[in-house]
Amino acid sequence: MGERLDTTWKGIAARVDAALDRYLPDEETPPGELHRAMRYSIFAGGKRLRPVLCVLSGRLAGARLRELLPPACALEMVHTYSLIHDDLPAMDDDDFRRGKPTSHKVFGEALAILAGDALLTLAFETITRHTKDGRIAARLCEELSRGAGSEGMVGGQVFDILSEGEKPNARLVEEIHRRKTAALIRASTRMGAIAACASDRELRDLTRFGETLGLLFQITDDLLDEVGEEGKMGKRLRKDAGRGKQTYPRVHGLAASAKLAGELAARCESILDRYGGRAKVLRSIPRFILKRTS
Amino acid sequence: MGERLDTTWKGIAARVDAALDRYLPDEETPPGELHRAMRYSIFAGGKRLRPVLCVLSGRLAGARLRELLPPACALEMVHTYSLIHDDLPAMDDDDFRRGKPTSHKVFGEALAILAGDALLTLAFETITRHTKDGRIAARLCEELSRGAGSEGMVGGQVFDILSEGEKPNARLVEEIHRRKTAALIRASTRMGAIAACASDRELRDLTRFGETLGLLFQITDDLLDEVGEEGKMGKRLRKDAGRGKQTYPRVHGLAASAKLAGELAARCESILDRYGGRAKVLRSIPRFILKRTS
């Protein structure tokens, strides 16, 4: 019964990787080319932030790892599909991500679109096939679809595209970030709580933590685009300004953005104060994101 | 309590249209441009075959209309997303569908990709938000994701693309059709049965009916591409041969394909024999498909 779990980020990411390998059809399963494309992007070196948040949130609220791996992996599938589609020529037109050629550069545009579609679909299949309690599975699917849908992540991507070239605007940049990145990060902590049948208070705290962390993450992303090193990031930088993207640094300046990031990290930590040592690893994540260089 | 329902195809389609209108965010909800694009394709004149199959199958197995509208509409959202993505320049590159410009011609490629993504996501949200019993919602999501995923509809699309220009091949054409079209039509009758908590025998019969009808539908689609009228179909025809697509007529010839279609329609009907008059409308669908001209 006793479940020993290495609860470091690295330890959880390793369990998530093993589960993703089980959940994704192997390259021998027809159509092999499609499954190769899905695996190529899933195993392209992602940091597994969303699954780690889901697992740590769920553990804090009392769930077992095996109950958390299906929603955790579903989140990574949705995140990966969004990157594949974002990188397409019709969207951000990026040739590299994490230092590797993007999906459409390797497999062609048609297969990249379909690999993204298949990963999004597989996310829901993974939750429903591998969650014993159907009522919990349904709640997880609802949470994921809201976070990923037209009023969440996809909606944020649309705002992002349509507002390119517009004058930097504080309200708009917040709107974009709240949807584009924060909606799925918020869904990550909430899905952990839902899988754990968390109390109302736990769910509320984990929701606020996820929301705040999501904004923090996007601000550091904007900052890294301005001041990061391309070698470390593995992708083209300094492109937001060139495209007239709505970013925090463009609206508020570098110094104010960095200050805001620090404040958000502190707010994240204080939300978890009441959980003491049990929340230690989860509580360390905002600082980690604040200091990230890639 | 008594539910009066016009169970003709047209009557059910009208109820489905009204439900789709409720389930889709309106054009005022931000981002309005995305919701406009989603609505444009959903209300572009589709025949609602999959929702009608879901509703009639579910009614046959004893469900109420209100329990069937969420899965029925989810099926139409998945079908519509697949058309939007199939029409993209990187895929089949079609400018017209049902006599109207395709999504990317009206909204641009980026928004067409995202409208497809959002419709696929909304399908799962619709089922989970509007199905009372979470266990049934989870089973519906699982069925939909299997039918639509990498070993179902999306997988069929990949086979279709990768085998273009290959020598016509009976095994391959069957493999493509079983996935590309039949998988989602099979899911349609099964989802009706699942929503109704059908008996094992009902589920088995409706599965076989859906599978057989799916093959019939694709064969008539292939035939219409060869001998249909562009005016009626509202899209470019005679393109399968030009692209070296794997189709029934190319493999077996027109006469043998038409004969097979007739046999499949008869097989569909006989599967429903034991249900007598209760199955009257569902039993009429294979003949309707056999005779369709658009």
Please state, in angstroms and rounded to a whole number, the distance separating the CA atoms of residues B192 and B65. 10
pLDDT at residue B218 above 60? Answer: yes
Q: Which amino acid is at A69?
A: L
**pLDDT score, position A185:** 98
pLDDT at residue A45 above 50? Answer: yes
- With CA atoms as reference, the chain A residue closest to B36 would be A150
- With CA atoms as reference, the chain A residue closest to B126 would be A142
For chain A, give the DSSP string: -------SHHHHHHHHHHHHHHHSPPTTSSSHHHHHHHHHHHTS----HHHHHHHHHHHHTT--HHHHHHHHHHHHHHHHHHHHHHTSTTTT--SEETTEE-HHHHH-HHHHHHHHHHHHHHHHHHHHHH-S-HHHHHHHHHHHHHHHSTTTHHHHHHHHHHTTTSPP-HHHHHHHHIIIIIHHHHHHHHHHHHHTT--HHHHHHHHHHHHHHHHHHHHHHHHHHHH--HHHHTS--SHHHHHT---HHHHH-HHHHHHHHHHHHHHHHHHTGGGGGGGHHHHHHHHHHHT---
The whole-chain average pLDDT of chain B stands at 93
Decide if B134 and A139 are in contact by the 8 Å CB cutoff: yes
> Could you give the C-alpha distances from B148 to A26, A116, B2, B183, in angstroms and in order?
18, 13, 35, 7
List CB contacts (< 8 A) between A141 and chain B: 124-125, 127-128, 137-138, 141
* Averaged pLDDT for residues B212-217: 96
List pLDDT tens digits, range B52-82: 999 999 999 999 999 999 999 999 999 999 9
CA nearest neighbour of A113 among B245, B71, B87, B265:
B87
- With CA atoms as reference, the chain B residue closest to A36 would be B150
Locate the domains of chain B by residue range. Answer: 9-291
- With CA atoms as reference, the chain B residue closest to A147 would be B121
CB-nearest partner of B146 from A29, A125, A151: A125
CB-nearest partner of A113 from B113, B159, B162: B113
Compute the nearest-CA separation of B215 from chain A (Å): 19
**pLDDT score, position B1:** 40
CB-nearest partner of B31 from A30, A118, A158: A158
Decide if B154 and A108 are in contact by the 8 Å CB cutoff: no
CATH number of this structure's domain B9-291: 1.10.600.10
- With CA atoms as reference, the chain A residue closest to B130 would be A142
Sign of CA dihedral A273, A274, A277, A279: negative
CB-nearest partner of A129 from B129, B142, B161: B142
Compute the nearest-CA separation of B70 from chain A (Å): 13
List CB contacts (< 8 A) between A34 and chain B: 150, 154-155, 158
Please state, in angstroms and rounded to a whole number, the distance separating the CA atoms of residues A294 and A253. 21
Length of chain A counted residue by residue: 294
List CB contacts (< 8 A) between B35 and chain A: 150
Compute the nearest-CA separation of B281 from chain A (Å): 32
List pLDDT tens digits, range A236-254: 766 776 777 888 898 999 9
List pLDDT tens digits, range A171-226: 888 889 899 899 999 999 999 999 999 999 999 999 999 999 999 999 999 999 88
B3: pLDDT confidence band, cut at 50, 70 and 90? low
For helices A280-290 and A49-60, angle between their N-to-C axes, nearest 10 degrees? 150
pTM attached to this predicted model: 0.96
Share of chain B above pLDDT 90, in %: 79
Decide if B161 and A111 are in contact by the 8 Å CB cutoff: yes
List CB contacts (< 8 A) between B110 and chain A: 90-91, 161
CA nearest neighbour of B217 among B132, B120, B289:
B289
Decide if A154 and B121 are in contact by the 8 Å CB cutoff: yes
**pLDDT score, position A5:** 80
A9-290, CATH topology level: Farnesyl Diphosphate Synthase (1.10.600)
Decide if A158 and B91 are in contact by the 8 Å CB cutoff: no
CB-nearest partner of A150 from B35, B135, B175: B35
List pLDDT tens digits, range B97-115: 989 999 999 999 999 999 9
pLDDT at residue B186 above 50? Answer: yes
Decide if B33 and A90 are in contact by the 8 Å CB cutoff: no
Decide if B158 and A120 are in contact by the 8 Å CB cutoff: no
Most A-contacting residue of B111, B154, B174 (CB-CB within 10 A), to test interface: B154
Decide if B141 and A127 are in contact by the 8 Å CB cutoff: yes
pLDDT at residue A261 above 70? Answer: yes
**pLDDT score, position A1:** 40
For residue B91, give both structure tokens.
């895929």
- Complex ipTM: 0.95
List pLDDT tens digits, range A103-146: 999 999 999 999 999 999 999 999 999 999 999 999 999 999 99
pLDDT at residue A2 above 60? Answer: no
Decide if B34 and A111 are in contact by the 8 Å CB cutoff: no
* Averaged pLDDT for residues B172-187: 92
pLDDT at residue A58 above 70? Answer: yes
Decide if B120 and A122 are in contact by the 8 Å CB cutoff: no
Q: Which residue has the tokens 């550091």?
A: A220
List pLDDT tens digits, range B134-143: 999 999 999 9
Compute the nearest-CA separation of A235 from chain B (Å): 21
* Averaged pLDDT for residues A48-65: 98
Instruction: Decide: B72 and B50 in contact? Cβ < 8 Å.
Output: yes
